[in-house]
Amino acid sequence: MGDFGLYWHWETQAGATGGRLVTRKRGRMAPDPFSGAGRPEGLCGPSVELREWAVMQIRDVTIVGAGPAGLAAAIAAKRLGLDYSIVEKGVLVNSIFRFPVNMVFFTTPELLEIGGLPLVSPYDKPTRVEALRYYRRVVDTFGLQIEFEEQVFAIEREEGPDHQDLFGVETRSSKGVRRIRHSRNVVLAIGYFDHPNFIGVPGEDLPHVFSLLQ
């Protein structure tokens, strides 16, 4: 399981110019955040207002993307006993979900397999529907932890407990809720179907011109 550390958050206010300057910082605090001893030393002056107490969970790895690559990374992390989580901006294997309904893959079933779980198909080339069912079975078989509709829009390196390097992964849910997840490592498994290479010719942005397979 991930490490838990009690952290303080504060903000400073600049009143000399009549404006408001906010600076947020983090650091370790005493075991009891609700006692006087829990306040960070030297942060009780008039220019500092304690804003938030939080318990921060530190995972071994955060995986961005719940496509085949992200699922494979999660399976490997789980087999190694690592504490991990997957964040996905859409649904499971989002790009495959957006493929044309009757699409058939160009590859054979065994090349789509991950985690040693067989993809059984009566056809030489698997269909989109078979792939969606297969990757759902992968998630259920391995019990993978996935948080859907959470889009990552910032990743920053931070200093954690005992001066260890951490990554703060900031996400925004489909409901507009922002959250920061902390982990020692980050895996970007964001694929390429959602990132078309535009060529800069007139008309490529017209509504009847498609840049994604859908």
pTM given for the model: 0.71
Contact, 164 vs 173, CB < 8 A? no
Residue 210, pLDDT > 70, answer yes
Give me the mean pLDDT over the 55-63 stretch: 88
pLDDT band at 57 (very low <50, low <70, confident <90, very high): confident
| Same domain, residue pair 48 and 75 | no
The Cα 201–Cα 185 span in angstroms is: 39
| Same domain, residue pair 30 and 132 | no
- Which of 13, 40, 55 terminates a domain? The answer is 55
Backbone angles phi, psi at 96, to 5 degrees: -65, -35
Cα–Cα distances (Å) from 112 to 75, 107, 190, in that order, read 15, 8, 17
Give the number of residues written for the chain: 214
- State which amino acid sits at residue 30: A
Q: Which residues pair with 54 in a beta bridge?
A: 7
**Could you list the residue range(s) of the whole structural domain that residue 65 is in?**
59-188
Residue-wise pLDDT for 17-37, tens only, equals 333 333 344 444 334 434 444
Residues 6+ apart with CB under 8 A from 107: 125, 126
- Which of 11, 29, 55 terminates a domain? The answer is 55
The Cα 114–Cα 31 span in angstroms is: 43
Q: Is 194 inside a domain boundary? A: no
- Higher confidence at residue 32 or residue 156? 156
- Higher confidence at residue 188 or residue 51? 188
| Same domain, residue pair 102 and 175 | yes
Residue-wise pLDDT for 62-94, tens only, equals 999 999 999 999 999 999 999 999 999 999 999
- What CATH number does residue 112 fall under? 3.50.50.60
| Same domain, residue pair 38 and 69 | no
For the record, the structure tokens of 1 come out as: 């399981």
Q: Is 207 inside a domain boundary? A: no
For the record, the structure tokens of 92 come out as: 């499971």
In terms of DSSP H, where are the helices of the chain? 68-79, 94-97, 128-142
| Same domain, residue pair 119 and 36 | no
Residue-wise pLDDT for 115-151, tens only, equals 999 999 999 999 999 999 999 999 999 999 999 999 9
The Cα 189–Cα 193 span in angstroms is: 12
Residues 6+ apart with CB under 8 A from 7: 26, 27, 28, 29, 54, 55, 56
| Same domain, residue pair 63 and 121 | yes
| Same domain, residue pair 10 and 79 | no
Residues 6+ apart with CB under 8 A from 144: 71, 74, 75, 78, 86, 138
Q: Is 204 inside a domain boundary? A: no
Contact, 114 vs 75, CB < 8 A? yes
The Cα 150–Cα 188 span in angstroms is: 14
